[in-house]
Every structure is written in C-alpha cells, then in structure tokens.
C-alpha cells in the first residue's frame, strides 16, 4: 500500500463538504437515540423522586450555591420542585413515545438544566452531558418514525435527516472523551496513580477481585488504562474496521467503572450515547427490530437551503465545545488545586479532595473573632462538596458576611482557615487566611490572588498488599 500523506486531509474535505453534510441519511439510529435519551431522562428523574434526592438536594438545604451569571434564578418552592421532577418523568415518557416530541424534549432540557443550575454542589459531568444531549435533540427529527407524532401527522414522516445531524452528535461525544483523556494527562494520574490508589484501597473487600485491587501495580495500571481509553476510544469508534471491538471495550470499561465506583448514571449515558458512532442504519440489522422502521429516504428530492445563521450557530457551538474545556490553561496554577476551569470541562474522576473549613468573623464591636463552621448553613453533602473548592468557599463567606450585616452589624470581615488535602497529600492552606472574603471579587475573569499555590510535594504512595 502506497502511503499518501494528504489522504486524511482529502478525506476530511470530502466528509465535511457541503454536499456530504446535506446528504440524506438513514434515520433509524436517531429513533433509537430518542428512546435512549428519553429513557435516561425518565430514569434519572424517577430515581431522584424514589430515593428522596429531590428533597435532600433541592428542598432541605437552607442555602444553595448559585453559578456565576445565574444568581438571578429564583429558587422554587418545595411543591414546585416536586412538580418539576414529575414533569421530567412525564417528559421522558413523552420523548420515548414521540408524543409532542420537540415540546417534550425542550421541556426536559429546560427543567433538567434549571434544576442543575440551582446549586453548584450538585454538579456532575454526566448531568451536563445530558443537558447538552437534550438541547441538541430538540433540533433533530427523531420523531419522524415509530412515534405518536408521525402516526397523527403524516408530514412528519417526510422530515429530512442529513449527515451533519449524525456528525454533530458524534462530535459531541468525541469531545467528551478527548477532554476526559487530556484531563488525565498529569503527574498525579500518570506518575503516581492518584487518586485511583486512594479509591482502590476502599474496594479491597470487593468479591472476587478485591485481592487484585490491592496489588501495588494496580493503581498505575488502571490509571494508564483510563488515560488511553478516554484518549483513543473515540478514534477507534469512528473507524469502521475497529468499531465493533471498540464498542465492546467501551461497554466493558463503563460497566467495570460503574461497579467499582459510585458514579451514578454516567456509564449508562456514555454507553447509550456511543451508539451514535455506528452507521446510521445499524438498528435495521437487528433481527425483528429492523422491520419496525419505515424505509429510509436516501435520495435527495431537492437541494436543501440551510441558512447561513444555522451554520454559524453550529460552528460556534462546536468551537465552544473544543475551546471552553481548555480554559484552565489561561489560569495560573494547578486546576486540581484552584478548581479554575474544572467544571464544564469533562475532567472526570481526576482528583480526591478533603477539607476542614472554619470561617472567622470579625465584628468591630467585638475584640475577638467568632469561629463559624460551614455546617451551620449547609447540609453534610454541601459541606463535603464545597470544602475543597475555592469559589464555593468564597461564596459562602460572602453569604455569612451578608447575614451579619442584615442583623445590623457594619464593616463585617470574614476570613477562612481552609485546610485541604489533594490526592492524599498532607493538608495545606487553600486560601490566604488574612484575606477578607467580603472584599474579594467573585468574577472568574479576575485574578484569584487569594488562592494560595498548590503543594509542591508529590502525593504519598500508600501501602498496598
């Protein structure tokens, strides 16, 4: 075989040409994706109601950490919270049934995203991904077949489905894996096997594999496997020849991590979403299932006219998904320590932090400082999540100062002693204890001089079997 140095570039030009992007494609994969996304919305909301998490995380807290730029979002009453989760359950069912599909999908996106924006301590990467999937699916004709909509309105069956819609979801999932891999490209993960070394020590009683998890080589081996998996799996899923084997590896990887670690719905979301890497007609190849789909429209009846603004929005979205996760590079210091650029960036399971936080409130009329624990205002879950994240420590400090001012005190000063351990290291001060938090800006666009440098010592090597 003759090596052609420009073959990949030529192939890329062919794939992303206007003719190919607007070529009609089989819709079968998209219908299955509708069932997956609707099912994930339904299960996520239903299990939240069943386990009482709606009350625990959204009703019980007396204070909630707002996201920067979303402080204006009103906190709903308890009855409204329960109604919103009930609405998500119904929206998930409607999505799967294809009943008022676009309205149901948009409702799921709004309700799910709204609830997640209420409190930073509830942030999880797979919640963010599910919000993005519901957003993207709002614009895709996933109800053109096997839906109540297409049964009631025949015109829906003729909605066009183009290649770019398939590529868009492939791009989104590839970006997730790519940045998850890049996040693991660091000393703690690749050279010290942390934080996996800490987590595996708590799994030594796991039946059958417990003794293996205690081997000294296991943290490093699993760290490198995780790095290589995230960095390359999306590439092998894009290549037809390696796709089936890669999918088996993908499923095995997510099942094993789901069993070993408490990561909720993440394995299911990633596995279901990964089916977008297969050829558009893959569901038709399943015995008995393929007969359910209507014939695919593979011939172009007319040349579609896609507005320039639509291409611009897609380009902006894709650019954002590629650049925004890299914003931690513009901040000085270690992102694992200062957390600047940590969220919305697919930095999955790359740090273990524990903190001991005590606020010191100084009132002019009192000679001594008052020590205020965060648990006075937070639930155990909130206190645990905020203990290693400087922006939340700052936010609560400002809130404490405001509460004292509302009581009639003036010139309130709030400082904090924040001792934090990163990936098993000895606790170190995270925030300058002499800085008055009430005078610090909360803007992520300003220098965080109040965050102290990260520890320079490597994490300890824990004893193993």
Place of tokens 């719905």: 265
Task: Find the mean pLDDT for residues 1-23.
Answer: 61
pLDDT of residue 299: 60
CA separation for the pair 12, 16 (Å, rounded):
6
Nearest to 323 by CA among 297, 346, 354: 346
pLDDT of residue 1: 43
273 touches 36 (CB < 8 A): yes
Task: Find the mean pLDDT for residues 7-13.
Answer: 55
Tens of pLDDT, residues 404-449: 999 999 999 999 999 999 999 999 999 999 999 999 999 988 889 9
Sheet with 370-372, strands from edge to edge, namely: 370-372, 353-362, 413-422, 428-429
Helix (H, G, I), strand (E, B) or coil at 461: coil
Sign of the CA dihedral 120, 124, 128, 134? negative
Task: Find the mean pLDDT for residues 225-233.
Answer: 97
Asked if residue 208 has pLDDT above 90, the reply is no
Tell me what the pLDDT averaged over the chain comes to.
Answer: 92
Q: What pTM was computed for the model? A: 0.93
Asked if residue 10 has pLDDT above 60, the reply is no
Q: In the chain, pLDDT over 70 holds for what percent of residues?
A: 94
Tens of pLDDT, residues 331-354: 999 999 999 999 999 999 999 999
CA separation for the pair 120, 444 (Å, rounded):
15
Tens of pLDDT, residues 115-127: 999 999 999 999 9
Nearest to 442 by CA among 113, 69, 49: 69
CA separation for the pair 40, 133 (Å, rounded):
11
User: How many helices and strands in the chain, by DSSP H and E?
Assistant: 19, 4
Please report, for the chain, the start and end positions of each structural domain, with discontinuous segments joined by +: 26-153, 162-290+308-345, 352-439
Task: Find the mean pLDDT for residues 15-25.
Answer: 77
pLDDT of residue 3: 45
Task: Find the mean pLDDT for residues 70-83.
Answer: 96
pLDDT of residue 320: 97
Asked if residue 384 has pLDDT above 80, the reply is yes
pLDDT of residue 9: 52
Tens of pLDDT, residues 243-302: 999 999 999 999 999 989 988 899 999 999 999 999 999 999 998 888 889 888 766 555
């Amino acid at each position: 075989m003759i090596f052609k140095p420009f073959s990949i570039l030529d192939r890329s030009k062919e794939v992303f040409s206007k003719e190919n992007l607007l070529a009609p494609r089989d819709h079968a994969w998209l219908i299955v994706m509708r069932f997956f996304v609707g099912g994930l919305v339904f299960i996520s909301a239903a299990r939240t109601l069943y386990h009482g998490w709606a009350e625990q995380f959204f009703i019980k807290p007396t204070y909630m950490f707002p996201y920067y730029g979303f402080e204006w979002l009103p906190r709903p009453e308890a009855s409204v919270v329960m109604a919103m989760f009930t609405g998500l359950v119904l929206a998930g069912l409607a999505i799967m049934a294809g009943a008022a599909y676009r309205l149901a999908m948009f409702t799921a996106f709004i309700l799910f995203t709204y609830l997640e924006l209420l409190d930073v301590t509830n942030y999880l990467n797979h919640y963010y991904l599910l919000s993005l999937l519901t957003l993207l699916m709002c614009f895709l004709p996933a109800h053109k077949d096997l839906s109540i909509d297409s049964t009631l309105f025949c015109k829906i069956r003729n909605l066009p489905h183009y290649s770019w819609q398939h590529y868009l979801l492939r791009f989104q999932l590839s970006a997730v894996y790519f940045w998850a891999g890049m996040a693991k490209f660091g000393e703690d993960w690749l050279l010290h096997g942390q934080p996996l070394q800490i987590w595996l020590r708590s799994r030594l009683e796991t039946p059958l594999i417990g003794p293996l998890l205690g081997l000294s080589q296991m943290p490093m081996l699993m760290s490198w496997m995780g790095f290589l998996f995230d960095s390359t799996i999306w590439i092998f899923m894009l290549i037809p020849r390696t796709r089936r084997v890669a999918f088996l590896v993908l499923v095995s990887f997510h099942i094993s991590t789901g069993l070993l670690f408490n990561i909720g719905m993440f394995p299911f979301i990633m596995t279901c979403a990964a089916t977008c890497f297969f050829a558009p007609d893959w569901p038709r190849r399943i015995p008995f299932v393929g007969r359910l789909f209507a014939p695919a429209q593979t011939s172009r009846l007319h040349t579609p006219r896609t507005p320039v603004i639509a291409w611009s929005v897609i380009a902006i979205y894709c650019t954002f998904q590629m650049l925004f996760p890299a914003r931690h590079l513009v901040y000085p210091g270690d992102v694992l320590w200062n957390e600047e650029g940590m969220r919305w960036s697919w930095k999955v399971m790359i740090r273990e932090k524990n903190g001991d936080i005590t606020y010191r409130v100084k009132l002019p009329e009192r000679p001594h400082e008052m020590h205020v624990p965060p648990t006075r205002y937070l639930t155990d879950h909130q206190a645990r999540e905020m203990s290693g994240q400087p922006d939340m420590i700052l936010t609560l400090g400002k809130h404490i100062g405001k509460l004292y001012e509302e009581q009639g005190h003036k010139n309130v000063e709030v400082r904090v002693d924040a001792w934090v351990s990163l990936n098993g290291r000895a606790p170190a001060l995270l925030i300058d204890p002499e800085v008055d938090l009430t005078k610090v800006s909360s803007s992520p666009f300003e220098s965080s001089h109040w965050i102290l440098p990260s520890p320079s010592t490597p994490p300890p090597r824990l004893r193993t079997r």
